[in-house]
Each structure stands twice: as structure tokens, then as C-alpha cells.
Structure 1
């Protein structure tokens, strides 16, 4: 696996070669940059590689996603195993067309944790391999077209949809870490999702007695995220402490958490997403915590707003194994906008 610094340098250099549409609307600019990066990646592939990587936009596999090892969920697409070094660099550049540098870094770090798992148990049940991650492209990438793509492997699933040249969907977005914190070896102390855990715990610990009655919803955390890898995430009953009942310090912690989540995406998309939260009625944003408030003890939290859900669960492997997901309850995989597209462009 390439070093993190090398990966980020490659991404930055390749990003300079791609036109960045700073004058366009953030949504449209990101879609154009993503299409250009996807086509640059596809241009490096041999025919037999393209046959693995490219699918129709309506292929059922587009919404068939999961975060478990590939032995448990056979994946289609072109894996890093089957790419040349140049192609791997172009794949990272495709990620960088829609993710921020921090988002690319988190992605690469999660992939690299597979090497730690392999070294700890080389003859284990699963073939831990930092290169067993797959790119699948659905439809034909173009600056004004309708298409999508996914980057996926163990503990990673990132789906992106473009509808008529605009970003149609950025979810589901799943990030997981095992180990949650590296406990020994040369990378001891690495915690890829540190802000996602530590800021949420600080918020839960800051609740007073009355707030805790509402915000701490259970003494024991669920065994996993509630929505699992459902193709369509169900609308969970909003519960927990509404943001309108938080003091200034608590709301700052909540906002820090939301920023960390959204800033895996490139800055213009992140700002666009955060603007939606700024416009929401604070009574409609809920924070709920379940389980222990102590580190390395099982815990779970979720943040829910109308049509939006974040879930975080850390219960496995002595609470050192994180599952974290972002769902758009109305528009995962761009389904809502795709439906509008089909109704407008495919009328009989």
C-alpha cells in the first residue's frame, strides 16, 4: 500500500490536471469535475478491465451495497488488485474530484487498516487486503449526463449519482474502522474516525440531568447500526434531544460533528450541504446516545433531521470496531431526482 503522503501528493498533482469549474454552481461544478475524472480513469483501462468496471445506469447492482468483507458480499467492479499503479492513481483522482483531501485521507487510511488486520491474523477467515476495493461506474460519465459510480470494499461504501449534469446524490456513505484505535505497532494511536467518536461523546457527557432523560436513550448500545445496509433506509422515529434544547456549547459540539461528517466532501459541496442544516428548524434535529459514556465501552449514537440520518455504532471487538453511515432518507442513490428525471425524459 502506498504511503499516505504519497497518495495525497498524487491526488493533488492529478487534481491540478483536471479542470476545476470554480465559476459554476458548486453542484454543477462538482458533477463536471467528477465526469472528467471518471473519463480520465476509464481512458487508462483495457477492454477487459472496462467490462468489469462499467455497468448500465439501471443495473440492479447500483443500489446493492454493503460494508462487510467481500467474502461475505461478493462485489462487482474493478478492484485495485487488477489495476496498474497509474490506474490506481487515477482512481484516487476520481475520489478527489468529489471528496476533500481529508475525505481521501480517511478513505485511504480505512483501506490501510486491512493490512493491520492481515498482519495480526494472516491465516484468518477473510483475505485482508488494502487493494481489495472496487470501482463501479454506472452509465456513461458526461458533463451534462445522468450516471453514477461507487467506491466500495470492507468498511467503505461511497456512492455518487449525477442527474442531468448536477449532483443527484452523495449517499449512502459508509465509513468503518477495525481497529477503531490502533493499539500497538508502528501506527499505534491512529484513530481514523476520532472526531466522529470523541466529539459525540463530549456532547453526550455535557448533558445535564434533565437533558440526559431525553438524550441518553438506552443503557446498552445496539449491536450495529439500525439501518444496516438496506437499499432504502427506513425512516426511524425521531428521538433524543432536539438541538433547540441545547445550550451554546452543546450546539457547537453538534455543529462540529456535522461539519466533520460533511467535510469529507470537497469544500463547495460541504458548504452547500451545511447550508441545508443552517436552514432547518432546530427542533427537528435530534441527537440520541445509547450505551456507555466511557471510552472503549460499547456505545451508539444517531443524529436525525428530516430526511437525513447519521448512525454510529462501536460495540464489536471490545468496542474498538466502528460502523458509521450517512443516509439521505429521501434521496439515497439519487433516487428522488432520478425518478423526476425519468418522468420528464421518458414520457410516452
Structure 2
């Protein structure tokens, strides 16, 4: 790619970020205008420039716990529609379809578990327990953010001066990962799983040895729900993912028991977890060591994650990774079996991207996937720069 092509790709990315932010702002203002005086304090906090607010914004989950914000089940039908339009503003059509499917799977999971899961509430698997919260107000604050999340979904965005500054972490999971229908199978994350397996199966013996992180897969993604990804991070256990203990001793023991069973199934020790820790520079095989067709398959795998973004932004990401010098910095790692249906894990990592996919629980029928940007998750670096940069006080923040 020439320098002119590079400048064109950069310009396209900037325009896409502005367009995405405008769509989000419009949807956010419509949703907020439909809320009553009791709902607004729950739905909207102050701008992320407030340190206390920032602490809350970085508190994210993908477990079936309270995520913070206004739950869908606490909104009327019109408000729910506007909330989902807000969610759709941050996603491609395909990404929104995945999120909607994952939410609906809560009903299926409830049946799989014999309608007995409660997690400290009357219904433990509830498609109405997905929360939307804004931090700051579009049209009023120069810096504002929003998130949407519930079990197996966490979407996080930051807007600065009318431009989308961050769209990660972006977490999507599925339990069950595969659901048998009448004559077909529902697999919301199959594209992400199949694209990686197709790539890994093209590796020769030398390439596979380079890519192999461990012969077996760990029981979860490694980065967990940390606000930042750092060198040396090892897999977060359930206790840490939940960030505290339950007041109900039965639930407390349940979390510990699930974790013990998962660890026993994986066979991992502390030494094994250290082997698959996230590192900078990344582990795995570099794209430099891949052939042209393999590089094409890697780019396709990347789109299974960056394609979650709104269409123009997704296209700008495609153009970014079309540059050979950018793709050369990306590494691919694999753990576990390569056969379909067997527990496995993979990682795709570069300077501005971290992808993790894990499908080990429920005998390889419970998947977690995350798209992160270690250099700009939550837009933390850019937000820090704005805090240090003087600007005229407008009374808005």
C-alpha cells in the first residue's frame, strides 16, 4: 500500500468514526427523551471526566450479574425499542443480529438448566436483564460514553468531540453455542469459530508448532473483564470475574464449584496458565510467516470481530488490515483440539487488537469471544490526554 493509500485509509477511518458517533448521539438523545424522572438518574451518569464516574464506566462484566444502568425489563415497550435502536447504532446489521440472538438464548439456557438457575433473583436467566447506561450527554458534553451489557454481552463506547474514540471491549458469548433446530442448527458465533479453524488447518507442522500455545485449552478467555490488558496477564478465575463474594453462601459455593470443575476439566495448573499468559510482544505465529492464502484467511478472521462495528467503520478496519505492514504485526495462537466440537481457544494479537475465543465449557458448547484494543480499550489513553489538555471551560463538564 502506498503512502497515498495509507492517508486515504486514515481519512476513511476518521470519517467513519464521526458518522458512527453521530448515529449514536441521535439514538441516545431519543432514548433519554423517552425516560421519566425516576429512570433518568439510573440511565445517565455524569461525563467520564468525573473520576468517580470513570470508575463505574470501567466496571464491566459478561457474567449473569447486575451490569449497571437501566434494565430493559424496567422500561416500557417504546423505551425498549429506543434502547435497542441505541444498541443497533453501535453495531453492524450482522453484529446486532448476534447480540439479539444471544439475548434470546437466555430462554434456551433457562430450559437447559431445568428452569432452576436463580443467581440471587427470581429468574436467573432473564432476557430482560440487559442494562443500558450513558456517561455524559450527547449534545451537551464534549466527552460522553455508553455501554450495554448483560449475560454474555458487553458493548462499550467513548465519544470525544463528535468522534467515536473507542468501541472496545466488545464481548459476545453464547450458551449454548450450538442449538439444534428442526432441520438446522443455530450457532451465533459460528463464523468466528469456523474462520479460525479454517486458518489453523492450513498450517504445516512447523507453523502449527509456532502457533500452539498449549495442547489443551484453558477454561475461559485470558483477559477476562480487566479494564486494561497488560503483559503477563493470566486467566481470571470466576471469583475475580464476579469481583467479590455473594452474600448468599449457596451462590458463593456455586461459583467456586463451577471454577473447580472447569479447572479440573482443563487440567491446568498455575504453570500452565503462565504458559498461555498474554504477552507483549505476542505469542503465536506472526503473519509474516504465513503464505498469501493464509494471510487472506487471517484477514477474514479479523473481520469476524471488526465486522461487529457499524458498516463504514468496519470497512475502515478492513482497509487498515489490508496494509501488509499492519498485518505483519499480528500473531495467531491456538490451544486445544482443532476438531469441530472439541474444546479449544485461539488468540489474535497485534499492537492495536486482541481477539480471544474460547469454547470449552459444557463440553465445547459454551463460547466466549472478545475484541479488544490494548492500546485504546475504553479510550483510556485518549481520555487521559484530554484531561491534561487545557480547554476553555464551557460549563458542560
Q: TM-score, normalised by structure 2?
A: 0.77
Residue 269 in structure 1 maps to residue 313 in structure 2: yes
Answering whether residue 24 of structure 2 is matched by residue 55 of structure 1, we say no
Q: Provide the C-alpha distance between the structure 2 equivalents of 1:117 and 1:281, rounded to a whole number of angstroms.
A: 40
* 1:168-194 alpha-carbon deviations (Å, 9 max, x no partner): 1000000000011113x5596100001
Aligned partner (choices 229, 232, 235) of residue 228 of structure 2: 232
**1:164-243 matched pairs, under 5 angstroms:** 164-183=161-180, 189-235=185-231, 236-237=278-279, 238-243=282-287
Q: Is the 8 A contact 1:144 1:165 kept in 2?
A: no
1:113 to 1:200, Cα distance in 2 relative to 1, 3 A:
same
Q: Answer yes or no: is the 8 Å Cα contact 1:196–1:261 preserved in 2.
A: yes
Secondary structure in 1 matching 2:18: helix
Looking at structure 2, the residues matched to 29 and 251 of structure 1 have their Cα atoms a distance apart, in angstroms, of: 30
Q: Is the 8 A contact 2:20 2:90 kept in 1?
A: yes
How far apart in 2 are the matches of 1:125 and 1:91? 25
Structure 1 runs of 4+ with >4 Å offset:
185-188
2: CA distance, partners of 1:346 / 1:329? 27
Stretch of structure 1 that moved more, 133-142 or 119-128: 119-128
Residue 313 of structure 1 is matched in structure 2 by 358
TM-score, normalised to structure 1, is 0.88
| Structure 2: distance between partners of 1:228 and 1:254 | 23
CA shift, 1:274, in A, is 2.6
Q: 1:132 aligns to what?
A: 129
Q: Pairwise CA RMSD of aligned residues?
A: 2.0
Which residue is equivalent to 1:158? 155
Once the two structures are TM-superposed, the CA of residue 283 in structure 1 deviates from its matched residue by: 3.1
Measure, in 1, the Cα distance between the counterparts of 2:145 and 2:87: 13
What residue is the counterpart of 1:26 in the other structure?
A: 16
Q: Which has the higher contact order (CA 8 A, sep 6+)?
A: 2
Distance 2:98 2:140 in 1: 27
1: distance between equivalents of 2:135 and 2:350?
A: 29
Aligned length: 322
Instruction: Give the direction of change, closer, same or farther, for the CA distance of 1:38–1:345 in structure 2 (3 Å limit).
Output: farther
Q: Per-residue CA shift, 1:275-326, capped at 9, x if unaligned?
A: 3323344331101111001122110000001132001111111011111111
Alignment-derived partner of residue 91 in structure 2: 99
- For the pair shown, the structure with the greater C-alpha radius of gyration is 2
Q: Please, which runs of 5 or more residues in structure 1 have no aligned partner?
A: 1-21
